[in-house]
Amino acid sequence: MNKAVFLDKDGTLVDILGYPKIIPSDLLLQDDVIEGLRYIQNKGYKLFIVSNQPWIAKGRLKKTEVDQIFHNLIAKLKSKDIIIDEFVYCPHKLSNNCDCKKPGTKLILDLVKKHNIDISKSYFVGDMDNDINAGKNAGLKTILVLTGRGNDFKDKVKPDYIIKNINSIKEVLN
């Protein structure tokens, strides 16, 4: 079985300073993530991005626009020799009551099954309560990063670990 790190996108991998005017972003938090993502990859973990993208259901962006943003991000990471095995996102808004929107687990569990992931050796990294709760609901160890909105949630959720940014992951990942 494989081990994996599931990553939120907005606020975890990319800047959200322009939010809500600029959504979603592919502006990589390069100084906060590249070294850590390389470390994760070198430790033999598969990398997946799992994100909520309600902008589609809200009519603010087309699916093709969101897909292009993800492809741009993945190309930026690939140029730094970081391979994202797959990205998935929920296009629904909260009122759709779907099971794929974090903190729901459908997207995570579909990836677990598809890529033969050992949940007991895997992590979810994010900057919000929905990320941490999705990871916990899926049986993963959870890491809250203080980038993005992480500081807003550090006293509101109980992740397994809290770190400054993805570059700090070597403090907790074995």
Give yes or no: 99 in active site. Answer: no
**Sequence-distant contacts of 147-151: CB under 8 A, at least 24 apart:** 147/11, 147/12, 147/29, 147/32, 148/10, 148/11, 148/12, 148/16, 149/11, 149/16, 150/11
Q: How far is CA 131 from the centre of its chain?
A: 7
Contact indicator for 32, 74 with CB cutoff of 8 Å: no
DSSP H or E segment with residue 66: helix 63-78
Other CB atoms within a 10 A radius of the CB of residue 167 amount to 20
Contact indicator for 15, 22 with CB cutoff of 8 Å: no
Give yes or no: 67 in active site. Answer: no
Catalytic residue among 10, 15, 32, 127: 10
Cα three-residue angle 83-87-88, rounded to 5 degrees:
170
Separation between Cα atoms, residue 63 and residue 157, nearest integer Å:
31
Give me the active site residues, please. 8, 10
